[in-house]
Amino acid sequence: MANIAGIDLGTTFSSLAILNAIGKPEIVANADGERLTPSAIYFDEESSHTIRVGIEALNSRYVNAERSVRWIKRHMGDSSYRKNVDGKDWTPEELSSLILKKLKQDASGEHGEIRDAVVSVPAHFDEIRRKATMDAGTMAGLNVIGIVNEPVAAALYYATTREVCGKVLVYDLGGGTFDVTIMDVKGHQMDIICSQGDHALGGIDFDIKVLEILEKSYRDKFGGELINSNEDRAKYEDEAEDIKKTLSRRQAAKKLLYGPAGNLKVEITREMLEEAISSLIARTDILIEVALEEARLKPSDINKVLLVGGSTRIPLVQRNLEKMFGFPPENTVNVDECVALGAALHAGLTMLREKPEEVPPGISSGLRDVQLTDVCNHSYGTICAPIDKETGRRVVENRIILKKNTPLPCESTQMFYTMSEGQTEVEVNITQGEDTDVKYVNRIAKHRFKLPPGRAANCPIKVTYSYDMNQRMHCKFEDLESGRVLEVDFCLDDKGQMSQSDIKQKTEEMESVKVE
């Protein structure tokens, strides 16, 4: 029987966990024996069919930075991003699939086939990015049975391994993204209340701040630049990361910089780092406050703060949270691994719900009491043209039908009316976003709904959106007079994303690509 796996596809590191015979998640080490695999890719110059993923790829950046890729998660779902190597344009989905393929390949070697998997994503990822992540998994040869929000996965692991009860705030500061999630936990029953996140806030941003200090110190001393090539940058990015990690343990870190104008010994103190990253930490503070406001809670209502992600090791982060909540945050489990471990648990729960007959009895029994209620990650709406109260003019606006943070499964209905006499069709737009201004929302699907001819204006159209436990959305547009119905199961093909046949073709193409 194939393994049930959970994958943390991180910005800087990725990991894979599987459920053991009694339903407990375990991290599977990669071929190098490491539990975390750097999310780095290197296209070997010598052998164009060999692509290196992991630590070797990370180190190869110093040799030829142009042939390396890092932090691809930040580009996930970006249809304009392409990495050109030897004349081939790689999409973020294809590049991510290489990392997933490496994880799958290494784990399969020791533990047997890895097929059904849940991949984690930041809570704030929109549908386009979620779909792109799923596509990457499919291209890697996985059967992606679900997507789980990283803080939810982490909390799932915490709640099933530790005594957690009450209102829990999960503070997930990873390599490239930040999420804050508030949930209500009663033993093994977890109800998500709300999530907030920042797509461009994580460890790599702290590294960049350290790197800026190094560059400035060198410039001040020699009047010249420390970094003159992409290879130099790759090297000093790693130096900066090393300094940041050292400063989590010590008050000061010393480095010798070998620059073109001469060598420089620099000392960076913890205070210097904290000053440099204070505006970034302020952004996490704002998001915590926003999440608390959304949940209608005060800091004193929070019973536990759980830390997730390597960047939570920074003392300023922990001090800041203790100051805000009045008690120290919980860091009793490995903050780098809990997302993958929770994703494996989520995969087990999904399998139990979807294909219970395929779940071994030991796993079924291990997950028996675990219950999770997730929420809608974004608001979904449609575009309409009401009369503006202030100006009396007709304005085009986005009307939210399904609100963010509504517990799943959910359904919501609103009534709209045709605008003109003899109107024979309605342009139906499905939007994702929190704004009423159409400029600021993403139109994720567009259809034409044909109506009977020769009717007066103001004919009612009933619009119903529903969202199920597997994060699938269904939209129904109903012309009440004629009984005509337009149903849309949410898919991203209209936005130029990959269709099923494209994925199949890409999956076949990726099968021939070797990763090491």
Partner 1 sequence: MGESAIPGLAVVLKWAAGGVFWLVRELESRFLRKTEFEQCLRAFSLPDLRVLNCRVRSTRQQKGSTYHDAFSVEICGSIHAPKGANHAGASVSIEDVTEGAANAQAVYSRLKQWQTGNSEVFCYNSDLGRIPSADMTLSDWVAVGIINIDWLRLPRKGTRKLRFRICIHNCESGDRFAFAECCFAYENSVLGYMDLQENVQRARTLAVALAFAVSAADNKMYDCEVDLIKNWARGNIDTCKVSDKVRERLEKALEKTVGFFREGNHVDCCRICREVVEIVPVGERYDILDLCLRVARANGTATVEEVSLLKKLAEWLEVDMERFRRMMEKILPSSMHEVKDAEIILGVKSDMSKDETRRHLNKEYRKWNARVTNSDPEIQNQADDMVRFIAEARKEYIA
Q: Which residues of this chain interact with partner 1, rule CB under 8 A?
A: 80, 124-126, 128-129, 196-200, 278-280, 282-283, 286-287, 289-290, 293, 388, 390-393, 433-435, 437, 439-442, 495
Specify the residue, 74 or 115, whose C-beta has the smaller distance to partner 1. Answer: 74
Specify the residue, 22 or 456, whose C-beta has the smaller distance to partner 1. Answer: 456
Specify the residue, 258 or 417, whose C-beta has the smaller distance to partner 1. Answer: 417
Tokens representing 238 are 């790693």
Amino acid identity at 294? E
Specify the residue, 49 or 389, whose C-beta has the smaller distance to partner 1. Answer: 389
| Nearest distance, CB of residue 80 and partner 1, angstroms | 7
Amino acid identity at 288? I
Residue showing tokens 């071994």: 360
Rounded CA-CA distance 335/313 in Å is 9
Specify the residue, 91 or 196, whose C-beta has the smaller distance to partner 1. Answer: 196
Q: What is the SS3 assignment for 172-226?
A: EECCCCEEEEEEEEECCEEEEEEEEEECCCCHHHHHHHHHHHHHHHHHHHHCCCC
| Nearest distance, CB of residue 381 and partner 1, angstroms | 13
Pairing of strands 189-198, 371-373: parallel
Pairing of strands 114-121, 3-9: parallel
| Nearest distance, CB of residue 213 and partner 1, angstroms | 19
- Of the candidates 412, 418, 421, the one whose C-alpha atom is nearest the C-alpha of residue 480 is 418
Specify the residue, 284 or 350, whose C-beta has the smaller distance to partner 1. Answer: 284
- Of the candidates 86, 95, 112, the one whose C-alpha atom is nearest the C-alpha of residue 4 is 112
Cβ-based burial of 408 (10 A; exposed 0-12, middle 13-18, buried ≥19) = middle
| Nearest distance, CB of residue 79 and partner 1, angstroms | 8
| Nearest distance, CB of residue 487 and partner 1, angstroms | 24
Rounded CA-CA distance 365/356 in Å is 11
Rounded CA-CA distance 226/189 in Å is 53
The secondary structure element, H or E, covering residue 344 is helix 338-354
Specify the residue, 93 or 239, whose C-beta has the smaller distance to partner 1. Answer: 93
| Nearest distance, CB of residue 125 and partner 1, angstroms | 8
The two most distant CA atoms of the chain are separated, in Å, by 83
Specify the residue, 6 or 197, whose C-beta has the smaller distance to partner 1. Answer: 197
| Nearest distance, CB of residue 378 and partner 1, angstroms | 8
Specify the residue, 66 or 89, whose C-beta has the smaller distance to partner 1. Answer: 89
Specify the residue, 235 or 443, whose C-beta has the smaller distance to partner 1. Answer: 443
Query: What one-character-per-residue DSSP string does 251-314 give?
Result: SEEEEEEEETTEEEEEEEEHHHHHHHHHHHHHHHHHHHHHHHHHTT--GGG--EEEEESGGGGS
**Residues facing 480 on adjacent strands:** none
| Nearest distance, CB of residue 126 and partner 1, angstroms | 5
| Nearest distance, CB of residue 196 and partner 1, angstroms | 7
Would you say 61 and 70 are in contact if contact means Cβ atoms under 8 Å apart?
yes
| Nearest distance, CB of residue 289 and partner 1, angstroms | 5
Rounded CA-CA distance 198/201 in Å is 6
Would you say 429 and 378 are in contact if contact means Cβ atoms under 8 Å apart?
no
